[in-house]
Amino acid sequence: MRKKWTIGGIISGTIYENIAQITPKNELNCQLLLIYIVSYMTRIIRETMTKIKAENIKKIFKIRSNGNSKNNGNTPNELLALGGVDLSINKGEFVSIVGPSGCGKSTFLDLVGGLSKPNEGNIYIDGKPVNGPGLDRGIVFQQYALFPWRTALGNVEFGLENQNVLKKERTEIAQKYLSLVGLAGFENRYPYELSGGMKQRVAIARALAYDPDILLMDEPFGALDAQTREILQRELLHIWEETHKTILFITHSIDEAVFLSDRVAIMTARPGVIKKEMAVPLSRPARFEDDIRTSQDFVKTRYELWGHLKEEVVKAQQICANTTANLSLEKPVTTLEKVMTT
Amino acid sequence: MANNIIVQLKLLPQRLLAIIIFLLIWEIVPWVGLADPSFVPPASATFARLWELLLSGTLLTQTSISLQRAFAGFAIAVVTGIPLGFLVGWFKTFEKYMDPLLQTFRQLPILALFPVFILLFGIGEISKIAMIALACFWSVFMNTASGVMTVDPLLVKSARSMGASHSDMFKKVVLPAAIPAIFTGVRFAGTVALLMLVAAEMVGASSGLGYFVLNAQQRYASRDIFAGIVALTLLGVIINYILVTIEKKATSWKEDIVHG
């Protein structure tokens, strides 16, 4: 028996020797058993490593057709938004989904968030199927979704209230997270008194405050100007390093995806499936260097991703053009009806 | 706070300018003969008469009678309109069935119902209060319902993602989100209450400011007519001011504070 002097080799070697002692009769049998045990263990390890697992997720949307019988034959009443998405994300991993607009990225995120149910397939978190929203997942939306009648502090406290945390403790935690996102001193401002970037910081603090394992981010920086976006991207990396969250990040920017994530998944045009997954070959410290976006690895990864994404974007535009052509017949009717009834 | 008052005082001449000019025109027009002073008394004579009425106590008596009616009707409308508005706004199916009926009822000319109310409730207070209540109700009810229906779905989604229960959703999302719309309805109801009050008091009453104005017309006491109208207008301004102040307090988180 050959022994490899690696840690894995030592472990499997001892296991092998132990097994050989129990059943010394047939070395081949032992080897098969060993292979079985090792593969079983790796599966267990992989499963315990996996935080989010999506299996063959399909989502169908019903399109309202307003009894326009002429059109019923041509346009389907059902729209397949997701056509069987498979994706698994490890604990503490930062995974981005990029895809053309309207491909169902946000739909998928909603499903993981438990805000809607898939028509087919299952999503597991820590091996348990998702049955609605929960405080183990925090969602950050593109449009901030802050409660305008609450101050920054009040907004961050929202999730904690539902966890029955005492008022004093709530305020302390909320203040801690507001300073984590660089908003100490802005506790008593209302959302209308904050800039877009600040609002999104509050939203991130709010999602972090109740300490979910998973952060689901739906194009969180999409509505921000370029400078603010870059600053917040860096801060998100810092926050991620500090808090060790598992992050699922939706974006349409390849640049953003490469800069932030460990792994990038490309989604196809409707019906959305994961077309390709790519690991990003950038070390964590390297990402904080100033010229990272012009480094060879970065540019190469981005270029490759764009190659995969390009045809999907073209396809998505065609789908979009077809849909509007079909809908344009119905649209005036609906609006008119609305006007008449209200 | 003190600073704020000083700023307001500095702005006062500016804000009063238009009113002063209007009063001057009102004063001059009868004097130069553009209008017959016996039909349109000048501003000074009107305010002098108003002062007399205030001193004699007539004004206060009539005003308090009117206010009681307006307030009773207004209160009934608010107390019934807000809960019903929530009901219709919150339960989609309820809204679906009720909407056609409500849309029809909304177009009902309420003044035309007055004879019916008199038949039902007699000529006393109840018919007048019922009319005011009904008119105010639509404003409160419709605005509340639309406020609840137009709650930003993203906020509901966001609250749901943070584990908000049904009752939390109502207390912490729908209610605060609907408050601006509710106040718009309530403020408008305040105006409507006064309008209906005058109408009701002119049609069938023997007291109140509306009756006072109508009675003055029958006596050809033009100064009394105008004094009554001024009193009613001032009452409207005060009521609106009170409602706007409450609204500002309740919606201090809003960027644009609605001016009344």
Of residues A113, A143, A191, nearest to B161 (C-beta): A113
User: Does any domain span residue A49?
Assistant: no
Tokens encoding A169: 């403790």
> For A276-323, how does the pLDDT look when each residue is reduced to its tens digit (9 = 90+)?
888 888 888 888 887 888 888 888 888 888 888 888 888 888 777 776
Tokens encoding B59: 């004004």
Confidence grade of residue A331 (pLDDT, cut at 50, 70, 90): very low
> For A192-222, how does the pLDDT look when each residue is reduced to its tens digit (9 = 90+)?
888 888 898 999 899 988 888 899 999 888 8
- Asked if A108 and A85 touch (Cβ cutoff 8 Å), the reply is yes
pLDDT at site B189:
93
Q: How many domains does chain A have?
A: 2
Pick from A147, A165, A217, A219 the residue to mutate for testing the B interface (most B CBs within 10 Å): A147
Same domain, A218 and A125: yes
- What count of Cα atoms within 13 Å lies in the side-chain half-sphere of residue A52? 28
Confidence grade of residue A333 (pLDDT, cut at 50, 70, 90): very low
Same domain, A21 and A123: no
Same domain, A22 and A107: no
Least confident of A101-105, A146-150, B45-49, B227-231: A101-105
User: Does any domain span residue A155?
Assistant: no
Contacting residues of B for A135, CB less than 8 Å apart: 162-163
Confidence grade of residue B76 (pLDDT, cut at 50, 70, 90): very high
**A107 to chain B nearest CA, in Å?**
13
CA distance A89 to A274: 13
Same domain, A132 and A27: no
CA distance A28 to B63: 107
User: Does any domain span residue A331?
Assistant: yes
C-alpha of B43 from chain center:
25
Same domain, A234 and A290: yes
Task: Name every residue whose Cβ is closer than 8 Å to that of residue A159 and which is 6 or more positions away in sequence.
Answer: A135, A138, A206, A207, A209, A210, B162, B163
Say if A154 is an interface residue toward chain B (CB within 8 Å). no
CA distance B1 to B3: 5
Number of CB atoms found within 10 A of residue A184's CB:
11
CA distance A114 to B243: 42
Q: Which domains does chain B have, with CATH numbers?
A: 1-35 (no CATH), 43-250 (1.10.3720.10)
Mean pLDDT of chain A: 80
Say if A134 is an interface residue toward chain B (CB within 8 Å). yes
Same domain, A35 and A98: no
- What's the mean pLDDT in B87-106? 83
With an 8 Å Cβ cutoff, the interface of chain B facing chain A consists of: 103, 152, 154-155, 157-165, 168, 172-173, 176-177, 179, 251, 253-255
Of all residues in chain A, the percent with pLDDT exceeding 70 is 81
Mean pLDDT of chain B: 87
Going by C-alpha positions, the residue among B60, B57, B79 that lies closest to residue B129 is B79
> For A113-138, how does the pLDDT look when each residue is reduced to its tens digit (9 = 90+)?
888 888 888 898 888 888 888 888 99
User: Does any domain span residue A267?
Assistant: yes
Tokens encoding A263: 């792994």
Number of CB atoms found within 10 A of residue A76's CB:
12
User: Does any domain span residue A337?
Assistant: yes
What b-and-e string marks burial along A101-140, b requiring 16 or more CB atoms within 10 Å of the CB? Answer: ebbbbbbbbbbbbbbeebeebebbbeeeebeebbbbbbbb
Length of chain B, please?
260
> For B182-199, how does the pLDDT look when each residue is reduced to its tens digit (9 = 90+)?
999 999 999 999 999 999
Expressed in angstroms, the distance from the first to the final Cα of chain B is: 22
What b-and-e string marks burial along A225-237, b requiring 16 or more CB atoms within 10 Å of the CB? Answer: eeebbbebbebbb
- Asked if B121 and B130 touch (Cβ cutoff 8 Å), the reply is yes
Strand partners, A214: A137, A246
3-class secondary structure, A263: strand
Same domain, A219 and A337: yes
User: Does any domain span residue A52?
Assistant: no
> For B118-174, how does the pLDDT look when each residue is reduced to its tens digit (9 = 90+)?
888 888 888 899 999 999 999 999 999 999 988 888 999 999 988 888 888 888 999
Q: Is the pLDDT of residue B22 over 90?
A: yes
User: Does any domain span residue A153?
Assistant: no
Question: What does residue A9 show for φ and ψ, rounded to 5 degrees?
Answer: -65, -45
Same domain, A113 and A229: yes
User: Does any domain span residue A167?
Assistant: no
Place of tokens 């995120």: A109
CA distance B190 to B79: 14
Q: What angle do CA B227, B230, B236 make, to 5 degrees?
A: 145
> For B240-258, how does the pLDDT look when each residue is reduced to its tens digit (9 = 90+)?
999 988 888 888 787 654 4
Same domain, A233 and A117: yes
Contacting residues of B for A210, CB less than 8 Å apart: 162
Same domain, A30 and A97: no
Same domain, A274 and A332: yes
Same domain, A28 and A73: no
Q: Across the beta sheet with A246-251, what order do the strands follow?
A: A137-140, A214-218, A246-251, A94-98, A263-267, A274-279
Query: At A291, which CATH number?
Result: 3.40.50.300
Range of the domain at A27: 9-40
